[in-house]
Amino acid sequence: MAKIDFRLNGVPVSIETQLNRRLLDVLHEDFDLIGIKEGCGEGECGACAVLFDHEIINSCSVPIANCANKDIVTIEGFSNTSRYKILKDAFEEEGAVQCGFCTPGMMIAAESLLNKNPKPTTEEIKIGLSGNLCRCTGYNMIIKAIQRAAKVGEGKW
């Protein structure tokens, strides 16, 4: 057991835990952040994606030991932003949500992509989403949603 301090959704937090636990489990169980989903547990599907010092990572692949003093943002934290609202509206209007299990991770991927590249081409969107699996939509409507968000939210990213 050890004490780990980090920033979670903008707030400094501190927990006593075993260092080999996955960030995914700490967030899902200890902080009850249910927007983080476990799809594969091996860093392949992106359902557990979070922002880690502004970079997208899969929280199943990060031990909590690596999180000391890091800035971690989950869908719960991101959902308080105006950029979230733009993406959310775009996801709804383009029909990008079916079962919803991959959706929070897709939102994090979209935010991460637009942060780096506010005007991505279709090909760049596809590359930006390639770490997030969706089995329902065939990605078409998710890609359109990100195009729409980039347009509507011009200047926000």
Partner 1 sequence: MKDIRESILKTDGDEKISGQAKYVADIRMANMQHAITKRSTIACGEIKNISYPELPEGYFIVDHRDVPGLNVVKIIFDDMPVFTEKAITYLHEPILLVVGPNKEKVKEIVNNIQIEYIEKEATFEWKNSAVQYHFDKGLGKSIFENADKIIEYDYETGYQEQAYIEPQGFIGYLEGKDKVTLIGSIQCPYYVKNAVIQVLNATEENVRVIQPSVGGAFGGKEEFPSLMACQLACAVKKVKKPIQLIYEREEDMLVTTKRHPARIRFSAALNKEREILGFKIYCAIDAGANIGLSGVVLSRALIAGTGAYTIDNLDCSGDVFITNTVPNGAFRGFGAPQMYFAVEMFMEHIALDLGIDSLAFRRKYLAKQNDLTSTSGTFRDPIIMNEMIEKGMEISDYKKKRIEYSKEKSTKGIGMSFFFHGCGFTGSGEATHIKAKVRLKKDKDNTVYILVAAVDMGQGIRTTLRKVVAQILEIPIDNVIFDFPDTDKVPDSGPTVASRTMMIVGGLIGRAAKEMKKRWTETEFIVEKIYEQPEYIKYNDETFRGDAYPAYSWGVNIVEVDVNPVTYQPKILNTWSVYDIGKSIDDRIVLGQADGGLTQGIAYGYLEVMNHVKGVIKQKNMTDYIIPTAMDTGNMETVIYENPYAFGPYGAKGVGELTLVGGAPAVVYAIEQAINKRIHKIPATPEYILEMMNDGKNRL
| Chain contacts with partner 1 (rule: CB under 8 A) | 28, 32-42, 44-45, 47, 74-76, 79, 88, 91-93, 95, 97-104, 107, 125-143
Residue nearer to partner 1 on the CB measure, 69 or 130: 130
Shortest distance, CB of residue 13 to partner 1, whole angstroms? 18
Q: Side-chain half-sphere of 59: how many Cα atoms within 13 Å?
A: 35
Shortest distance, CB of residue 63 to partner 1, whole angstroms? 15
Shortest distance, CB of residue 111 to partner 1, whole angstroms? 12
Residue nearer to partner 1 on the CB measure, 68 or 99: 99
Residue nearer to partner 1 on the CB measure, 46 or 62: 46
Residue nearer to partner 1 on the CB measure, 66 or 98: 98
Shortest distance, CB of residue 64 to partner 1, whole angstroms? 15
